[in-house]
Structure 1
């Protein structure tokens, strides 16, 4: 597939969007200076005001796009309230982006435990020490909490906190965007239609 265009065959030959996303993600892994898994995650608060932040996509397959987080954080509370979210990947080196919208499901405890076990020990300790999104009096307060949790667990395995788990964004639409001259960009959207995916081009 050419990096300069999104040809008709790139999507008309597919009956689902995941293979194309996988190809684009592999391209991004080879070309992005920073993390190709970085993604803007959008949710809404109780007043319907949109909220967006950069996170890391921790997993991807045909079920959807997975992130892990503190469920007591702002994004955790917002997503749990609506069980809907959106993502936008932007790979500047490739002049490509992918937008994903859909409903959200909570991953199983086994899946959350398995991912938590892969995290560096310092990140595991941090999950216990940080009251994510809540007011922090000083940096020293956070550092003291890290020390306290480090001493608490000693050499023992650090378990996953009950409030720390994963969300899977199950896509209803996935849009692929590629930069073209004079802002005449390529836009192709896959829309879930029952058990199948329908595709269409969009005006830029």
Structure 2
């Protein structure tokens, strides 16, 4: 059973709908026992980095998520859920992240022809192969974000060009992140979720 972590950070209904569409067994939960016994975890998120971390702390979920990852449970962070995989975020105020992947979440530089937020469809460039990246080269996926994960090159799997090379997918070990929304990215996004489900099995 996959657990979509419930910390009131939005977009869970779309993620659950997408998982149902691909035939995956999934449940929305903040229950520690369910999280620790899950075959895989999905950490969605829409909103601000400090608020997300504060809510995870309030619900006692930070320790539980770290325990699950430490024992090898695959984790996929989506959008804000990917950003908080890093060590810290600089959105509104400096906030400590989950620290699974070295790096800092920073504001996307603004430019005249690339307004922020980065919103809409953008094509992907695969930088290194992982179990989730096959067939993603030059495919379009849907982004909505104003911040990006500034992480070392070795953790960047896929990028998208938007004034800078935005890390679109990152990973370390069995912790993966997608800055875009797979659940809103049509068949390509569903394919990524299917690959993650297979990884969890």
TM class by shorter chain equals under 0.3
Higher alpha-carbon Rg: 1
| Higher RCO (CA 8 Å, separation ≥ 6 residues) | 1
TM-score, with length taken from structure 2: 0.22
TM-score, with length taken from structure 1: 0.22
Structure with more strand by fraction: 1
